[in-house]
Amino acid sequence: MGTTAAEVERDRARLREFVEAHPRLFVLTGAGCSTDSGIPDYRDTNGGWKRPQPVTYQAFMGEKVTRQRYWARSLVGWRRFGRAQPNATHRALARLEQQGRIATLLTQNVDGLHQAAGHRNVIDLHGRLDEVRCMGCDARLPRNAFQQALVERNPSWALLDAGDAPDGDADLEGRDFSRFDVPPCPACGGILKPDVVFFGENVPRHRVDAAVTSLNEADAMLVVGSSLMVFSGYRFAAAAAREGKPIAAVNLGKTRADPLLSLKIEQSCAEALSFVS
Ligand SMILES: [Zn+2]
């Protein structure tokens, strides 16, 4: 792109000014925050899919084989995903919150790494992957406990390794998933699902309402590491723009909200936030 060191410095200074000028920030984060923690991104810099589109809610609930394939991949992928640690971006945002500059952080990520970095006021828009929920009786169990049940029933799968994919699953294409044994809900025998919002599924209403209230009380919006291609995230940028609130975004590549931005920083999240001390 031919960006010079002086331009990088100038952009960083502009971001710092933006943060200092708006003490009640509403921050929205996406996959770009977590790539430095070893969790890959779904999208390329043009906002297109890097790999086959993830499983839909309808396929997961409707087809046994889809659940078998999902949990087989998840069994293998969880070993690394479950151990991922927060990185410099999570820590910089947590420090900004401690300094009183961030009112609310809304994340599209499901990895819990903002909280692991000490961030307190976080809304997990798409849920958390570290919990499993029964679609029959609403019982919940920790993903780590469910991992043990998966391994006990499928010991040969536990020996496999595969390329890591987003959201804690793994690439195991070409395998026969039909003998993978998925444990049912221990309480009612129902279908267990990770407590995250799948494609084709609605974000719970109370979560959206809480985020909208926070946005209304903020004086500006800062997007960190998201292309906003998914409507559930984009609509907050659209709402901020309607209310006349300035929006800054840090993202490598295009975002769906580019025409709405007052400031766009095309750097990695960690670089752009390196002014935070
Ligand atoms: Zn149940």
User: What pLDDT is stored for residue 277 in this prediction?
Assistant: 86
What is the chain's mean pLDDT, rounded?
Answer: 90
Taking the centre of ligand 1 as the mean of its atom positions, its distance from the CA of residue 188, in whole angstroms, is 4
State how far the Cα of 85 lies from the Cα of 37, in Å rounded to an integer: 6
Confidence of residue 42 (pLDDT cuts 50, 70, 90): low
Q: Which pLDDT value is given to residue 65?
A: 94
- Tell how far the Cα of 63 is from the centroid of ligand 1, in angstroms: 18
Question: How far is Cα 225 from Cα 277, in angstroms, rounded to an integer?
Answer: 20
Is the pLDDT reported for residue 211 higher than 80? yes
Instruction: Give the CA distances from residue 67 to residues 27, 164, 225, 233, 262, in Å, rounded to whole numbers and listed in that order.
Output: 34, 18, 30, 26, 43
119 included as an active-site residue: no
Burial of 61 (0-12, 13-18, 19+ CB in 10 A): middle
- Confidence at 51, pLDDT banded by 50, 70, 90: low
> 38-42, 93-97, 189-193, 236-240: lowest mean pLDDT where?
38-42
**Position 44 confidence tier, pLDDT thresholds 50, 70, 90:** low
Asked if 149 and 182 touch (Cβ cutoff 8 Å), the reply is no
Per-residue model confidence (pLDDT) at position 60: 96
pLDDT at 170: 57
Residue 209 alpha carbon to ligand 1 centre in Å? 27
Least confident of 33-47, 50-64, 138-152, 226-240: 33-47
pLDDT value at residue 43: 55
Q: What pLDDT, on a 0 to 100 scale, did the predictor assign at position 210?
A: 97
Percentages of the chain per state (helix, strand, coil), in multiples of 5? 40, 15, 45
Residue 10's contacts (CB-CB under 8 Å, 6 or more residues apart) are none
Strand spans (E) along 64-219: 102-107, 122-124, 127-134, 140-142, 192-196
Q: What mean pLDDT do residues 252-257 have? A: 94
Q: How far is the CA of 198 from the centre of ligand 1 (A)?
A: 19
Active-site residue identified among 90, 114, 126, 206: 126
